[in-house]
Structure 1
């Protein structure tokens, strides 16, 4: 390995050991496995079309769960499942009023940030 050489981003020849050392430092600066799992869970939460619809509906303001069920024409159990995933990921907040539960976005800029992310990856 001491004779191994590679070209870097500037087309300069560098020893492999130096590159491996640099990669080791980069690896040590990355988030932890738990932090990556949390990030993955957040992305999973918005990876479903129904959940994205719910977020877009809530971007217009707070809604009762019964309104979300009616608009999306899905069973209560399905909507509750999706709302629970969004709530656990931190995308939405809820409050109880009598027998009804009302949902709202946890951050008013959430849809804007999701759209920016989508535009970024689509180029």
Structure 2
């Protein structure tokens, strides 16, 4: 297959165009990509990663998470909310307390697998 050089004025031939159309047809739609980027952004923070690692060991009350994180309640709640909106956490309310757990127990294993290949 002949390659084209940027700035050379050459245009892709029909074979190249067909190949590019096949490739681009397999790329998710922009709205899906933006949603995926938002999910990835949710874990792109050391505080949120630490929360995920904490919850790997099971459900914790928000008061326990605050104690371990040594951060103010509004800060921890903010991070928990981001993780919850991204689908990483599930929660339940018991009286005045909210308990959090991982929505998928394999999240940490998946993160570790992703990061070990860098």
The two structures have a TM-score, normalised by structure 1, of 0.85
2:33 to 25, 32, 36: 36
User: What are the ranges of 5 or more consecutive residues in structure 1 without an aligned counterpart?
Assistant: 8-14
Q: How far does the alpha carbon of each residue in 1:32-88 deviate from its partner, in whole angstroms, 9 at most, with x for none?
A: 111101110111010000000000000011000011111111011110110000001
Partner of 2:50: 53
**d(CA) in 2 for partners of 1:16, 1:53:** 51
Greater strand proportion: 1
**d(CA) in 2 for partners of 1:49, 1:6:** 43
**Is the 8 Å Cα contact of residues 6 and 16 (structure 1) preserved in structure 2?**
no
The two structures have a TM-score, normalised by structure 2, of 0.88
Q: How does 1:21-100 map to 2 (within 5 A)?
A: 21-100=18-97
Partner of 2:7: none
**Is the 8 Å Cα contact of residues 59 and 108 (structure 1) preserved in structure 2?**
yes
Q: Considering only aligned residues, what root-mean-square deviation do their CA atoms show, in Å? A: 1.7
Q: How far does the alpha carbon of each residue in 1:64-123 deviate from its partner, in whole angstroms, 9 at most, with x for none?
A: 001111111101111011000000110000000000000000011110000001112x1x
